[in-house]
Amino acid sequence: MAEKKKKTYVAASPETEEKIERSQSQKVKEAKPVGNADGLRLGAVLLWVLALAFEICALFVFLGKLDLKFISQIAQLILFLVLDLAAVVGGAQLWKKANHIDPESEEKPLKFWLWNNMGLIACAICFFPFIILVLSSKDADKKTKTIATVAAVICLAIGGLASYDWNPVSIEQKEAAMDVLGSETVYWTTFGKVYHTHDDCSHLNRSETLTYGTVEQAIAANRVRLCKTCASKDNISGLALED
């Protein structure tokens, strides 16, 4: 069995009322508030619009309609594509965060998938048109055309992987968890995928820092399932996922 390490407890928000006994050597930190889903979605849309603008700039550079003068055409193309990628991924992260605060119903699977993966769709819109137009160009320099295509494809792949929601949550899942656990305090680690109802769970032995809060806060932090061991210990079914 792994040796237990001293844990640092981090409050999920200033409003958390649960009091936990701590040793003098343990640090106490407060995590950022959950946030507002509407504001996060607005921020995501604005970043995607910005990403589309960078895509257009890259296209103009490729067509010779935009020239920054102080750097080469290839460097300009890569610059705008990287900025495009950063804006796409940033928007996707905000969108996924919003969906964990205010999730969609899974009654309609297609709508549920599309809503949770708007970042992936935005990524496709912000790179596919550029790739198609570059490949269809007959007058462009072959070297520039090749580099632009490869750079855009790489950005598309990275953006797609980063934008896809690998751990979506539905309103049904959230409500079920809140019905079962209510305002009970749960715990999660910095890089874990689940939340725990017991801070002495064996899966937390190697974790030096724990965040604690309500199950709603845990889901907002992308911990959408209960630890299987904790679920078994509490005789809870339907909320657990293998660690």
243 residues of the chain, pLDDT tens digit each: 455 555 566 666 554 444 444 333 333 344 455 678 999 999 999 999 999 999 999 999 999 999 988 899 999 999 999 999 999 999 999 999 999 999 999 999 999 999 999 999 999 999 999 999 999 998 888 899 999 999 999 999 999 999 999 989 999 988 988 888 888 888 888 888 899 998 888 888 887 788 888 888 899 988 889 999 999 988 887 776 543
Domain end among 119, 135, 163: 163
Q: Of the residues 141, 163, 185, which one is the last residue of a structural domain? A: 163
- If asked whether residues 50 and 86 sit together in one domain, one would say yes
**Does a structural domain hold residue 47?**
yes
Paired sense of beta strands 225-227 and 29-30, if any:
unpaired
Res 27: pLDDT? 38
232 shares a domain with 196? yes
In a domain? residue 168? no
**Residue-range definition of the domain harbouring residue 190:** 8-33+173-241
Number of domains in the chain: 2
pLDDT, position 18: 41
Q: What integer pLDDT is reported at residue 40 of this predicted model?
A: 95
Length of the chain: 243
Tell me: do 74 and 153 sit in the same domain: yes
Measuring CA to CA, which residue among 193, 202, 190, 195 is closest to residue 177? 195
Rounded to two decimals, the pTM is: 0.81
Q: Is residue 61 part of a domain?
A: yes
88 and 43 in a single domain? The answer is yes
Same domain membership, residue 124 and residue 227: no
In a domain, 2, yes or no: no
The CB-based long-range contact list for 147-155 (8 Å cut-off, 24+ gap) reads 147/74, 147/77, 147/78, 148/58, 148/62, 148/74, 148/77, 148/81, 151/77, 151/78, 151/81, 152/58, 152/81, 152/127, 153/127, 155/81, 155/82, 155/84, 155/85, 155/127
The predicted pLDDT at position 10 comes to 64
Residue 90, pLDDT score: 98
Judge whether 227 lies within some domain.
Answer: yes
Same domain membership, residue 130 and residue 196: no
Clarify whether residues 66 and 103 are in a common domain.
Answer: yes
Please report whether residue 3 resides in a domain: no
Residue 50 lies in a domain: yes
Q: Which of 163, 196, 221 is the last residue of a domain?
A: 163
Residues 90 and 57 in one domain: yes
